[in-house]
Amino acid sequence: MENIGSTSPAGSKFILGITGGVGSGKSRVLEILKEEYGFRVIQADQVAKELMRPGRESYQAVVDCLGPSILNEDGTINRSAGALTDKGDVIMKQSDKPEESWEFLKWWSSAETQEQFAKEVEDLMGAEARWNTANKEAFLSLAWNDDDIKTLEAMWEWARETPTVLGSYMTTRHMTNAWTTVVISGGDVREALEQAVKDINREMRSKQEEYGVIDNG
C-alpha cells in the first residue's frame, strides 16, 4: 500500500503494510487509509487470487500440490472449500517422507496417544481444558459423567459439518463487539445488534463478491 496523497510529509511517498488475523479489522483500516488519507491500496490476497487463475503463474503449482479435487467444474480453484478447516491433517504430495508422515499421523490420532495427551492436558489445566480428541474412543475415555456422555452421543447422531460461508468469521467478531457494547459500556441492545448485523452483512457480501459467489453491485 503506497501513500500517494498530499497528506504525506513534505509530499514524500512511503509503503505501509497492514497485517492481522481473520476478522481483526484490516479491511476497515484499508478503507480509512484509502478514503481519508489518499493511499493507493494493493491487497495481497487479491493478487494471489489473480495468480491462481487457470494459465497463470501459480495455478499449476497449487493443483500439483493439492490435487485435482480442489478444482471447480470450470477448472478454477475452489478457494472457498473449508472442509475441516484447522481441524484436519494433510500430507503434501511433494513430501519426501510420505510413509513416515502417514505413520506419524496414525500414531498422533490413535486412541492411545489422544487419550494420554488429553489426560495430561486436563491434569495440568483442569476440566475446563478438556481436549477435543481426534477420535471417539479417546473422547469417551475422559472423565465425563453418564448424563454428559448420553447428551454428547445424541448430539453426534445429528451433527453435520457447517458449509463454509465466505466472510462468516465476522459473525463471531461483531456479536462479541455487540455484547461488549451492551454489557460493558451500557449501550442499547437493539442499536448494538442492528449495527452488528450491518457490519456482518457488509463483510460477507464483500467477500462473496470478491470470490464471484454473487455479482458485484
Which pLDDT tens digits describe the chain residue by residue (217 residues)? 444 444 445 456 778 888 876 556 787 888 888 889 888 888 887 888 888 889 887 888 888 877 777 788 888 887 654 444 445 677 877 888 889 999 999 999 899 999 999 899 888 888 877 877 878 888 888 888 888 788 777 777 766 666 667 777 788 889 999 999 999 999 999 999 999 999 988 888 888 887 777 776 6
Return d(Cα 31, Cα 40) in angstroms, integer: 10
Tell how far CA 30 is from the center of its chain.
20
What is the pTM for the complete model shown? 0.40
Return d(Cα 164, Cα 127) in angstroms, integer: 30
